[in-house]
């Protein structure tokens, strides 16, 4: 059985790279080495290096474990919290529904 990998677009790769850089900065601010982080997370050194590089092949669960040890896991809950685009779509649908005529029932 062959394994398929997701197609990650260049702009999304840039976002992952930024995430990796942010994790690396958080480690440095806390003076936590990759060795220490490896001990605390149970992740291998190569996996941690891939995380700090923003590699898309690393599972989101591994990113979450690292964020948790750094005290940043709650930040993941903010993703898609303010869904501006989704709200606009919802508003359009609500406005469209308002303008549609409701069928009137005929008295028998």
Domain 10-99 CATH class label:
mainly alpha
At 68, list the tokens.
Answer: 């948790």
Averaged confidence pLDDT in the chain: 90
| Domain spans of the chain, in order of start | 10-99
Which band of pLDDT confidence, cut at 50, 70 and 90, is reported for residue 97?
Answer: confident
Stronger pLDDT, 70 or 103, i.e. the higher one: 70
pLDDT in tens, 37-69: 999 999 999 999 999 999 999 999 999 999 999
**Token representation of residue 8:** 């990650």
Contact indicator for 58, 47 with CB cutoff of 8 Å: yes
């Amino acid at each position: 059985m062959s394994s398929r990998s997701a197609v990650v677009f260049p702009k999304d790769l840039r976002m992952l790279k930024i995430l990796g850089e942010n994790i690396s900065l958080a480690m440095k601010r806390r003076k936590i080495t990759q060795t220490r982080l490896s001990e605390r997370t149970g992740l291998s050194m190569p996996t941690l290096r891939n995380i700090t590089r923003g590699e898309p092949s690393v599972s989101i669960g591994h990113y979450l474990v690292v964020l948790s040890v750094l005290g940043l896991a709650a930040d993941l809950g903010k993703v898609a919290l303010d869904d501006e685009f989704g709200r606009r779509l919802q508003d359009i649908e609500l406005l469209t529904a308002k303008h549609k005529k409701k069928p009137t029932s005929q008295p028998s």
